[in-house]
Amino acid sequence: MSAKEFSQPPITGLVYGPLLNDRSALEQLGDKLLDPPYKGLPKAPILYIKPYNTHVGHGATVQLPKGVARVEVGGTLGLVIGEAASHVPQNRAYAVIGGYTIVIDLSVPHESLYRPPIREKCFDGACPIGPSVVGKESLTDVSQLVIRTYINSEAVQQWTLTNLVRPIPRLLADVTEFMTLFPGDVLLAGLPLNLPTAGAGDQIAVEIDGIGRLEVRLEAAANDGKDEKDERPSL
């Protein structure tokens, strides 16, 4: 991919992802979720945040964190918020969505869901977004969307949004019960449990019909360990 194809992430806010919002993920974990440390299925939506340093656009090259050979590739749908959304009833959920985009949630593989996965999910570049935001009017039924992930052009995963624990209207309602989402924020639809992994040199692509194809490349961690401060002005 040439440098000029690189684009900025098409969103301005924070990205929030729900844990275990795919039924197959819950089913695969099964009784494990009843044992310590969890002691029961999740009740309210459990969210993680992909902060600003993780956001990169289509065509980006993402450097793996130091000491990490492979990362999980979580291709999913991003709901781009169009209106400030607080206490949104399910029947108004689509009114607060401005559009849709593709998000690749990159994570360092980790088994425990007990503590927030900060190192695992917040490394620089861990949240490719794009290639653009597609207006919601161009998609009639997002609940049936199919998400396809390719690594080096090989199809490695295909899943659909038909099996969500909280379908999109319910997810937006339950999340905005306790937190306001702002225009430009993104709420992810969720992810299945067993995700493909990729390493240095791999080319990743995620496709959703009607939204597009988001591509990024992984490269090995720089091992110089030097201070890489940039020239942005101080606060």
Task: Verify binding: residue 98, another protein, rule CB under 8 A.
Answer: no
Task: Verify binding: residue 180, another protein, rule CB under 8 A.
Answer: yes
Task: Verify binding: residue 178, another protein, rule CB under 8 A.
Answer: yes
- Window contacting another protein (CB under 8 A); options: 48-56, 147-155, 162-170, 191-199: 48-56
Four-point Cα dihedral 198, 191, 13, 92, nearest 10 = 160
Query: Which of 9, 10, 16, 80 is close enough to bind another protein by CB under 8 A?
Result: 16
Reduce the secondary structure of 78-119 to three states and give it as a string: EEEECCCECCCCHHHHHHHEEEEEEEEEEECCCCCCCCCCHH
d(CA 96, CA 20): 23
Task: Verify binding: residue 164, another protein, rule CB under 8 A.
Answer: no
Task: Verify binding: residue 30, another protein, rule CB under 8 A.
Answer: no
d(CA 46, CA 136): 25
| Residue 24: its H or E element | helix 23-29
The residue whose two tokens read 């690594």 is 151
Query: Which of 8, 28, 32, 52 is close enough to bind another protein by CB under 8 A?
Result: 52
The DSSP-derived string for 154-202 is EEEEEEEGGGBSS-HHHHHHHHHTT--B-TT-EEE----SS--EEETT-
Task: Verify binding: residue 111, another protein, rule CB under 8 A.
Answer: no
- Residues near another protein (CB under 8 A), total: 51
> Nearer to another protein by C-beta: 51 or 210?
51
Task: Verify binding: residue 109, another protein, rule CB under 8 A.
Answer: no
Interacting residues with another protein (CB under 8 A): 13-14, 16, 19-20, 37-40, 42-49, 51-54, 65-66, 86-87, 89, 113-119, 122-124, 178-182, 225-230, 232-235
